Amino acid sequence: MKTKVMLTPVANYRRTGSLWEGHYKSSVVQAEAYLLACMRYIELNPVRAAMVTDPGAYRWSSYRANGLAQPDVRLAPHPLYLGLDADAALRRQAYRALFRPQLDAEAASEVRQALKLGMPLGNERFAEAICARLGIRRNSGKRGRTPGDEPESRTALTEQQGFGF
């Protein structure tokens, strides 16, 4: 017996493109200043989404390995995490202590903004160096030109005025 599969047109769901289109975001992170904040941000996402009340309760969280000693062969500890303490038990305790205070709104906003814009997350010098190396212009997310940013050629505008524009 053959089963007939009915495909519902995409228009019924008011979306186009692939399921993951536009969902993947990434940003280069200055480890020394922002890595642990990013780890907290990511590992607290299921808590903020009210999926769980504790980050260790989320099945796919690296918090379970970093803070609760539940081994995961897919993870390799970052040197900054290892630097929390030489003793593994004290390191996990220090990591868990990072989660006691809520991630402040400003830090969460910085992480979100960097991801949204695809810009580096770090101090000014780090971000400028990364943008220069990638050959991209730093985007602050604010509309309009940055102060002191002048158009490259004022003569182009003057030349176009002669054409009736």
Listed range (45-49, 149-153, 161-165) with the worst mean pLDDT: 161-165
**CA distances for 150 relative to 141, 146, 153, 161, angstroms:** 18, 9, 8, 19
Specify the pLDDT at position 17.
Answer: 64
Say which range, 47-51, 63-67, 120-124, 147-151, has the weakest mean pLDDT.
147-151
Cβ atoms < 10 Å from Cβ of 95:
21
* Confidence grade of residue 67 (pLDDT, cut at 50, 70, 90): very high
